[in-house]
Amino acid sequence: MGWGLVGTGMIARHFTEDLRSVAGAHLAAVTSRSFDKAAAFGAAFDARAHADLDAMLRAPEVDAVYIATPNDTHFSTALAALSAGKGVVVEKPLAMSRTEAEQLASFATEQKLFLMEGMWTRFLPAMDFVREALRSGAIGKVRRIDGELAFRHLYDPGNRFFDAAQGGGALLDLGVYLISLSLALMGRAETVNGRWRAAPSGVDMAADIEMTFGTAQARLHCALDYEGANLFVIEGTHGSLVLQAPFIAARQVTKTLAMAGRGLARMPGGPTARRAMAKLSRLAPSVPGLRHQLFDFSGYGLQFEIAAATQALAQGHTQHPLMPMADTVETLRIIETIRSQGPAA
């Protein structure tokens, strides 16, 4: 499977480095707004550089395209790739609005082409463990989810994080992970509420998200102006599962069956906490009700998503069951619902 890469930034580099460990797939081509950058990237990773997107899409060695460009370019780039008959994986968010996502999904279905949002967290080994634990009733019936994802960025109105025209805001950049993961585990939300705080540029600097799933409730928070604990806690009637920080790249899941264990599992993120949790992991057998499951892997963690998409493409599928387009559309609907309520005073 020859992958064509659009973009040469940090995520593009992570993608390419992790692609090396995926059997049956390789980087065939790359393009960027700057041909010099594309040429340097291609030379570093043994891929052909193209001066523009159309040229890369015409290349017969390109079977599928990974889009790793700014948010505001996702829709047009994905539409061009699908129009060229290529399967497409788009770095989150797939698009800047529910309407755009629906248009892409409809077109991909009509053309019988693969389309997926690159929500890589869903494909991590830790998530396989969590899904099986919930399926088997290991922590009883889920009654609550608590999730936080916050990374500090210095405010700059021209930076993509704070520019609405570039798809900025905490919800599109970070909230998508929290919402998408909740939907993956619980299904469609019955109710959605939220509130957000505006940056000086008007985009959402931080947001609180509340959703209900029957008798279960999710309380989620994302922000661009501080470093958060970045845990994802799933509480059941008989215990809890904690995806340790940063949960979007989880390499450890803590399973607790006692109240003391739950308190330890909620220890905030950061270097000090990670060292403490590592020490606690070694002591876990002696701590009643507390167990750590480790999922160590090389690279950034995109290889699991890439392998899943590569296999789905090779088998002629138009979607992947772990990341269906319906969840992408629903995530964007939830974000729009929260934003429509206006910023907090």
pLDDT averaged per 10 residues, the chain (length 345): 98 98 97 97 98 97 98 98 98 98 98 98 98 97 96 96 97 98 98 97 97 97 95 94 95 80 53 56 64 93 98 98 98 97 83
Kindly list the structural domains of the chain, giving each domain's residue range(s) and its CATH number in brackets, ordered by start.
Answer: 2-120 (3.40.50.720), 122-299+333-340 (3.30.360.10)
Q: What is the pTM of this model?
A: 0.94
pLDDT in tens, 221-233: 999 999 999 999 9
User: Torsion over CA of 303, 309, 312 and 315, rounded to 10 degrees?
Assistant: -80
Distance (Å, whole) CA 40 – CA 26:
17
Q: Is residue 267 within 8 Å of 275, Cβ to Cβ? A: no
Helix axes 10-19, 35-45, angle to 10 degrees: 20
**What pLDDT is stored for residue 207 in this prediction?**
98
What whole-number distance in Å separates Cα of residue 285 and Cα of residue 281? 8
pLDDT of residue 271: 47
Q: Report how far residue 86's alpha carbon sits from residue 309's, in angstroms, rounded to the nearest whole number.
A: 13
- Tell me which DSSP letter residue 46 carries: T
Tokens of 226: 């501080």
Torsion-angle region of 273 (φ positive above 0: left; ψ -120 to 50: alpha; else: beta)? alpha
Number of residues assigned to the chain: 345
CA angle 91, 97, 101 (to 5 degrees): 65
pLDDT at 329: 98
